Structure 1
Amino acid sequence: MTTPDKNAIAAELTRSRARTALLTDAVGEDDLTRQHSPLMSPLVWDLAHVGNQEELWLVRDVGGREPVRQDIDHLYDAFKHARSDRPALPLLDPAEARRYLAQVRDKALDVLDRVRLDERPLLAGGFAFGMIVQHEQQHDETMLATHQLRAGGPVLSAPPPPPGNRRVRGEVLIPAGPFTMGTDTDPWALDNERPAHVVDVPAFLIDAAPVTNLDYLAFIDAEGYDDPRWWSPRGWAHRNEAGLTAPMHWFREGADWHYRRFGRVEPVRKDEPVVHVGYFEAEAYATWAGKRLPTEVEWEKAARWDPETGRSRRYPWGDDPPGPEHANLGQRHLAPAPVGAYPAGASPLGVHQLIGDVWEWTSSDWHGYPGFCVFPYAEYSEVFFGGDYKVLRGGSFGTDAAAVRGTFRNWDHPIRRQIFSGFRCARSLA
């Protein structure tokens, strides 16, 4: 990856803020301050939180400037207050939050203009600024998920994704052998993506595309939600406790399935990747289908390994950043694209849509790589290692290109379904 210069960094900061404004300007003050689900913060909390992180890192740490609003640090510390408790806090109102963000951004851009990007490790390659860009884009995806949980009519719009290609189906053989996982060279890679290390992977088969709604409907029609044979003990207990019968936001009208998506009701489109399923549902489907979920190592080898050169690419298609021909990212569309919609984004071995559309559950638990080092703070990754989390890979239609790559790692509790999560299956070779 080319190291970004100051103009490119400023452009990324501006682009991220424009998306934040789009998501928060789309609704009125009542919707900004209301909690739409106990799983999510009020939108106005996310709005001020991205400004507070920017102030902490770019204004105070990198710039050495006086605090803008030190008095609100505790309100926007994600570790001090659970999401369900945040509506009761004395948060900045929407107008105050917007003024605060503007003040912080003015100072951050002035810091960018004056600082040298080789002064210390935090600034190498513009990392501190890239960390803030990614943080804001991650919260933008979280706010998009809040919009999906919001009651009421549609307030967001986007064109439909491109059509699919029904010939993308079946499995792809990934040969046995070593490949380099993780990175030492990506300037904006986060600590959990490092260091690069060689992993020897047995041969396996992986689905050429994510599991579609049509595939998943077969599982539902086979009464897969009612048969404990397909579920792990924990999964079956959760299925019963939560009353799971279908993906989140699905409902039946007569014989047909529909879903609610950003305030609109639509028939379930059968060629789309299934979305809003938890890990336990993905695991049960895979078992029913005679397969399993891929490990994180398998997913990354399928996404990055180039059999001709033996090297690991930044993305399945190469090292160039994602374009609209490669992947469904950045809220450009408000749904996963049909399978086969991005042939230019396929891996060398023919695995499609590994980047964008839906986050893909893997069977791997969340931990650091061998030689992991905290950088620049433990609360981003390390404090979550060893918890009840499963790794997700690849990003979704709501993930920005700045916040996903072939090495990027996401994690969440296996019961979570409000995220834009789907999956694909794998099989071991006897």
Structure 2
Amino acid sequence: MTHQLSDLSAEGLRALVAEQLERSRARTVQLTDAVDTDDLVRQHSKLMSPLVWDYAHIGNQEELWLVRDVGGREPVRQDIDELYDAFMHPRADRPTLPLLGPAETRAYVGEVRDKVLDVLDHVKFDHGRELVDNAFAFGMIVQHEQQHDETMLATHQLRAGVPVLDAPPPPPGRRLAAAEVLVPGGTFEMGTSIEPWALDNERPAHAVRVAPYFIDTAPVTNGDYLKFVLGGGYEDARWWSEAGWAQVQKASLVGPRFWDLVDGQWTRTRFGHSELLPLDEPVMHVCFYEAEAYAKWAGKRLPTEEEWEFAARFDPATGRTRRFPWGDESPGPQHANLGQRHLGPAPVGAYPAGASPLGVEQLIGDVWEWTSSDFRPYPGFRAFPYDEYSLVFFGTDYKVLRGGSFGTDEVVARGTFRNWDYPIRRQIFAGFRCARDAQPAELAAAEHSELV
């Protein structure tokens, strides 16, 4: 995905949108065709919708925004709008609704897509309507489908039964030169005002100053986290916030979700496969409270959202804020583990080409990274095109995650993209890296080494 959409001709933009729509739908079909009818309609966890709900919801959102709004066409199935309104029905209640069955769902989303492609053939991108400029509404819907595809992938992780998904392993890792990187601090442009398909909470670009700090070169690994577990981390209230310790006791937490101790050995279950815990992979399926406790135990803390984005986007040599850690080029397979190309995080050190100018690695892809920041609007925020995407979630209930996971598509995984969730959530593909304040002596030593 290029951020220079405005440079494309109308036909070039149509071709790009058609390609992205096709790519997202192919992934949706893969995730839903992989299981039988019973699995499609079953609720595998009260935290998640039945897969068939996600599938029809994808089609309904596409109908609402592209067929009815952008296209001005007659509704396809106005009678089901309420069923697939995410704010009308909590996930736990959705299996009790009179949902479309799998065959009816496939027919519905197929009919909607046919109409969308016809709208795409006729829409004018240059008539000054913000929703259509640079094909924004189409980009929003592509991202919506890819986000639900990642949600459906998380549902696959929660389902019981024989494995149904397959993918090649990620590239091997390598030993890192240093465990942490000194980030010199400074002022940078956080967020964006120019990325055409950026969503409202990423906007507008604004100047932010950060003090010098250290940040881990890579996400915390299973091996690192296992030391916390074996060291009694879940039994010692010292490391936990009051809310975190309450959650440990309420949920009987003893380790990351999907970890098990079998015959004295730690294993991990992923998409139906159980295996010995891979020590060099980023830890995953930990909640915010677990990340926060580990960081305190390690003598560190979680980075703020501003520190995370500064490490990911700022180039100290030029003073520029990049689109991605490696530059402005869209992610390729050499840069990051994205798009369900592999079915799990890659070992630490697997993507040297994706490093930031300071040498921070795997900021994009592999695992979402918890930050210490609450989900707040940027200065000058404006809800667009509807309040329910971001506005209703702002506040202290949600913590921000950054960077994307192995299940996040490249059309979503911008350096500015903001994810958010409740601090107790563990079913998402989330890990973390630590940060710490830079001490005056460390800054002086770093400055001296640059002068020598």
Q: Calculate the TM-score normalised by the size of structure 2.
A: 0.94
Distance 1:267 1:138 in 2: 30
Q: Aligned pair 1:314/2:316, yes or no? A: no
Please give the residue correspondences for 1:243-322 in structure 2 after superposition, counting only pairs within 5 Å: 243-322=252-331
Equivalent residue, structure 1, for 2:369: 360
Equivalent residue, structure 2, for 1:19: 27
Equivalent residue, structure 2, for 1:125: 134
Q: Aligned pair 1:329/2:363, yes or no? A: no
Distance 2:123 2:95 in 1: 37
Q: Aligned pair 1:38/2:51, yes or no? A: no
Q: What are the Cα deviations for residues 338-395 of structure 1, in whole angstroms up to 9, with x where unaligned?
A: 0000000000000000000000000000010000001100000000011410000000
Q: 1:211 aligns with which of 212, 217, 220?
A: 220
Equivalent residue, structure 1, for 2:420: 411
Distance 1:280 1:71 in 2: 42
1:37 alignment partner AA: S
1:60 alignment partner AA: R
Q: Aligned pair 1:83/2:85, yes or no? A: no
Distance 1:333 1:177 in 2: 36
SS across alignment from 1:427:
strand
2:323 alignment partner AA: R
1:161 alignment partner AA: P
Q: How many residues are matched?
A: 430
Instruction: Check the 8 A contact 2:282/2:348 in 1, yes or no.
Output: yes
Distance 1:362 1:118 in 2: 39
Instruction: Check the 8 A contact 2:182/2:438 in 1, yes or no.
Output: no
Identical positions, percent: 70
Instruction: Check the 8 A contact 2:369/2:433 in 1, yes or no.
Output: yes
Q: 1:59 aligns with which of 64, 67, 83?
A: 67
User: What is the Cα deviation at residue 176 of structure 1?
Assistant: 2.1
Q: Aligned pair 1:29/2:31, yes or no? A: no
Equivalent residue, structure 2, for 1:69: 77
Distance 2:96 2:419 in 1: 29
Equivalent residue, structure 1, for 2:382: 373
* Unaligned stretches of 5+ residues in structure 2: 440-452
Equivalent residue, structure 1, for 2:4: 2
Instruction: Check the 8 A contact 2:309/2:415 in 1, yes or no.
Output: yes
Instruction: Check the 8 A contact 2:213/2:438 in 1, yes or no.
Output: yes
1:61 alignment partner AA: D
2:365 alignment partner AA: G
SS across alignment from 2:321:
coil
Instruction: Check the 8 A contact 2:173/2:346 in 1, yes or no.
Output: yes
Q: What are the Cα deviations for residues 17-71 of structure 1, in whole angstroms up to 9, with x where unaligned?
A: 0000000000000000000000000000000000000000000000000000000
Q: Aligned pair 1:233/2:242, yes or no? A: yes
Distance 2:413 2:274 in 1: 29
Equivalent residue, structure 1, for 2:348: 339
1:166 alignment partner AA: R
SS across alignment from 1:403:
coil
Instruction: Check the 8 A contact 1:293/1:362 in 2, yes or no.
Output: yes
User: What is the Cα deviation at residue 118 of structure 1?
Assistant: 2.0
2:180 alignment partner AA: E
Please give the residue correspondences for 1:162-241 in structure 2 after superposition, counting only pairs within 5 Å: 162-241=171-250
Q: What are the Cα deviations for residues 137-163 of structure 1, in whole angstroms up to 9, with x where unaligned?
A: 000000000000000110000000000
Instruction: Check the 8 A contact 1:204/1:427 in 2, yes or no.
Output: yes
SS across alignment from 1:75:
coil
2:16 alignment partner AA: A
SS across alignment from 1:401:
coil
Q: 2:120 aligns with which of 104, 109, 112?
A: 112
User: What is the Cα deviation at residue 169 of structure 1?
Assistant: 4.0
SS across alignment from 2:397:
coil
Distance 1:173 1:32 in 2: 48
SS across alignment from 1:347:
coil
Equivalent residue, structure 2, for 1:50: 58
Q: Aligned pair 1:140/2:149, yes or no? A: yes
Cα RMSD (Å) of the superposition? Answer: 0.7
* Unaligned stretches of 5+ residues in structure 1: none
User: What is the Cα deviation at residue 285 of structure 1?
Assistant: 0.1
SS across alignment from 2:369:
strand
Distance 1:338 1:279 in 2: 22
Instruction: Check the 8 A contact 1:168/1:339 in 2, yes or no.
Output: no
Distance 1:316 1:121 in 2: 29
SS across alignment from 1:122:
coil
Q: Calculate the TM-score normalised by the size of structure 1.
A: 0.99
Distance 1:57 1:118 in 2: 18
1:156 alignment partner AA: L
Q: Point out 4+ residue stretches in structure 1 off by more than 3 angstroms.
A: none
User: What is the Cα deviation at residue 167 of structure 1?
Assistant: 2.2
Q: 1:100 aligns with which of 97, 103, 108?
A: 108
